[in-house]
Homo-oligomer: A and B are copies of this chain.
């Protein structure tokens, strides 16, 4: 892995650049005041004078790059106190280091490691700037905020002022009890507010004690893998399906069994026809990821019947069901279940904002304790401050209001993409589904490969998810998942024009 900011490193290898660029680089770092006594292991009775020991320790720490050019060192008085020695030997050591040029004194602002030290004196690895960052790494993070980044809500329409006011209020009032360890299952009042929301808006059958607060839907999926799946188990997934789920579900050694989806969602007949035992099936019934179908009532009932008959678990990922543009939202599959075989998971990343890192699991009664224990073993609990803030945001009606506003906004943004695709991408791209959620599923026509298209898109300031990456088995279809949540109508129209131009210029089969 290379440095994603190499501030400190560049600073070491190029002091001129550092001086020019200012305060965020290493040599002119803000002095943080950390104690440095670990570098000066004073030993008495070994015949080496104290001033020599102090000199040796600091000299070595500077040469080793542990204390860096531009970094402030404590005053002689402070260091003497920390070392528990008189000030004289510290003064002696500092004098020598100043004389030799390792330290410099700045009037009124203290003593610093000299910035004039030649780089080849310092035992610090030279690192090439940026560029070498792995492509595999951080697929969500790269692509940044450019169109058609998927999974991105309209961040500039988030009621930031309301949110910040709640954050500030709770931060100022944070009690020791709220700073200490919290319940691994989540703050009781937040679990209660989430249960209210899910019952009311999603027809999920749950009490607060079945709700588990986790750090997003990826964490929820990993938790499902830990609790439900072991080495050699089979877990069925939609084909095509959500790649993030694929990687999470195999984390405890399970194997993926891809099951085709069609316009009614997962093919339950095909699932039932699998020879071996399937311990769990992962589905997105409200809005199939990536192709967009919503699972029919008949299929839902068949799936629940299958789970009961086969003693299997259904993992329902309701990742963006709040936004539906044609027909009315379907209730969650979990609410239709009478045999308590469904683990329901959701996230606030898409309905609020991704960096909140809060999601939830509604566990079947029989698994509640297992889920809670495993959640604790994973990373103990979620930060308390955001849980307090989110509770108020839900209970005070801000969340419901935000959802209502976003439904209209996303409808208009979706219509803009569809209009743009119709205008600029006819013949090269077919809209497969745009009924719900924050992305349009499209198919490439002809022999175009989505990987080739994406690299051309990246070069022109666009991005997308590749449909072909959503397949576990062979024969992937080629297409683009175009996120529209985070971009206004003008941006979207302009981006579809760029996309159309690019697609029409590509040789078929490029």
Contact = CB atoms under 8 A, between A and B. Distances in A.
A253 B251 contact: no
A184 B208 CA distance: 30
Contact of A66 (B67, B127, B171, B205): B205
Interface string A366-385: 00110111001111111111
A399 B163 CA distance: 27
Interface string A156-175: 10101101100110011010
A357 B380 CA distance: 9
A202 B24 contact: no
Copy number in the complex reads 2
B9 A329 contact: no
Contacts of A191: 5
Interface string A26-68: 0001111111111101100000000000000000010011111
Given A7-B208, A400-B32, A355 B378 contact: no
A397 B32 contact: yes
Nearest to A83: B328
A447 interface: no
Nearest to A371: B1
B203 A61 contact: yes
B353 A66 contact: no
Contact of A137 (B127, B369, B403): B369
B183 A369 contact: no
Contacts of A145: 176-177, 180
Contacts of A368: 1
B174 A67 contact: no
Contact of A171 (B65, B164, B185, B400): B164
A208 B9 contact: yes
Contacts of A180: 144-145, 152, 155, 353-355, 486
A357 B383 contact: yes
Given A68-B199, A137-B184, A181-B140, A355 B1 contact: no
A253 B253 CA distance: 10
Contact of A372 (B138, B205, B208): B138
A238 interface: no
Given A253-B231, A397-B32, A167 B160 contact: no
A1 B372 contact: yes
Contact of A199 (B65, B178, B179): B65
Pick from A202, A368, A385, A400 the residue with the most CB of B within 10 Å. Answer: A385
A397 B74 CA distance: 13
Contacts of A75: none
Given A65-B199, A379-B216, A380-B216, A331 B5 contact: no
Nearest to A33: B400
B379 A222 contact: yes
Nearest to A378: B222
A385 B170 CA distance: 14
A189 interface: yes
A276 to B, nearest CB: 20
A231 B195 CA distance: 37
A161 B253 CA distance: 47
A3 B363 CA distance: 13
Interface in A87-145: 124-125, 127, 134, 136-138, 140-141, 144-145
A177 B181 CA distance: 30
Contact of A140 (B66, B373, B380, B383): B380
A188 B9 CA distance: 12
A173 B65 CA distance: 35
B400 A3 contact: no
A203 B137 contact: no
A250 to B, nearest CB: 10
A167 B136 CA distance: 33
A80 interface: no
Given A5-B192, A33-B400, 8 more contacts: A1-B368, A30-B396, A32-B200, A32-B399, A65-B199, A141-B184, A251-B377, A385-B386
14 contacts: A4-B183, A5-B208, A24-B189, A30-B397, A32-B400, A33-B400, A34-B403, A39-B203, A138-B185, A141-B183, A164-B172, A168-B172, A216-B380, A222-B377
Which 4 residue pairs of A and B lie closest in terms of their CB atoms, listed nearest first?
A: A5-B188, A3-B209, A33-B400, A168-B168
